[in-house]
Structure 1
């Protein structure tokens, strides 16, 4: 019998990598945003593979900054929300992978757990993004602060839902 290997299963990190690449969509319009976002994506994936929550968290924050820098170039808000959804899913999938490594080890069969977890997170993030986009689109155009507050409220709801 071999020793328990608490590193995350590599298969569990694949969705985090795909979501991190998706999060780079809004950063494509900004060289600085792309550089910052790409370094964040590498941190998320590297932290997920090594089982380091600190790297996953720092990478997600850096990826989010890359999304914001890309969105600041004036791209369509829908693209910015795609980046936000990608960032949330990348972070949550990498965190789940780290947790699986601790709980069941590197060599466990985790495909079903990963698929269900990532699909649930994606559905929740897409719902929040849809509500935020609807509030932005249908909200009063003379009051951009109201749209910003609606987007902020949607982000807070998403963060609260992911913590439960």
Structure 2
């Protein structure tokens, strides 16, 4: 875009690139990869859905679409539910859940950063702090859910799934 200043000279203004920063996309896809790997260990069908969620996070970030990110998160939660229904180990489910949540949060944060400061801004530290805080909240929530699961005792997959979903809701509300 070119404009005239008061001295009738041409001034060149560059519009900021509103795409998410690359570091945010890479961090999100890495966390989604951890989630899908843990999901495949827990249940191949659930892991496949988590892999689709990872692709949706990548597509949503590249398209700057919160709707695609939300659909990706919904598909990932479906994958977690399917894995839990099929009796997947609690530990793998918790790792997958934390990875999925951190991936979605980082993708959403990256889209926001792209809109606010643009792709060219120096945001590496911002993304690292955001990822660390998100991971810390996720690990604390997972530890709480895991502790309650151990306290409840074995042989109760429905109760574990209910506690897992309650922990996921608490995690999402804490991240918001």
TM-score after normalising by structure 2: 0.83
CA root-mean-square deviation: 2.0
**Pairing 1:98–2:95 present:** no
After superposition, the Cα gap between the structure-2 partners of 1:140 and 1:76, relative to the gap in structure 1 and judged at 3 Å, is closer
- Correspondence for 1:18 among 30, 41, 66: 30
* 1:159 CA displacement: 1.9
**Equivalent in 41, 62, 76 of residue 89 of structure 2:** 76
1:1-164 equivalent positions in 2, closer than 5 A: 1-24=13-36, 25-141=38-154, 146-163=159-176
Cα deviation, 1:40-90, whole Å, max 9, x if unaligned, reads: 110111211221111111111112222332333323201100000011000
Greater C-alpha radius of gyration: 2
Deviations along 1:97-142, one digit per CA (max 9) or x if unpaired, are: 0000010011111001100001000000110000000000112447
Secondary structure of 2:15's counterpart equals: coil
Query: Shift of the alpha carbon at 1:148?
Result: 4.3
- Consecutive aligned runs of 4 or more in structure 1 exceeding 4 Å deviation: 140-149
Q: How far does residue 147 in structure 1 lie from its aligned partner after superposition?
A: 4.2
Q: Is the 8 A contact 1:47 1:53 kept in 2?
A: yes
CA distance in 1, matches of 2:74, 2:41: 18
Aligned length: 163
Shift in Å, 1:35: 2.8
Scaled by the length of structure 1, the TM-score of the pair is 0.88
Paired residues of 1:28 and 1:70 also in contact (CA < 8 A): no
Structure 1: gaps of 5 or more residues: none
Structure 2: runs of 5+ lacking an equivalent: 1-12
The change in CA–CA distance for 1:151 and 1:108 in structure 2 (over 3 A counts) is same
Do the aligned residues in 1 keep the contact of 2:42 with 2:92 (CA within 8 Å)?
Answer: no
Checking the alignment, whether the CA contact within 8 Å between 2:41 and 2:92 is kept in structure 1 is no
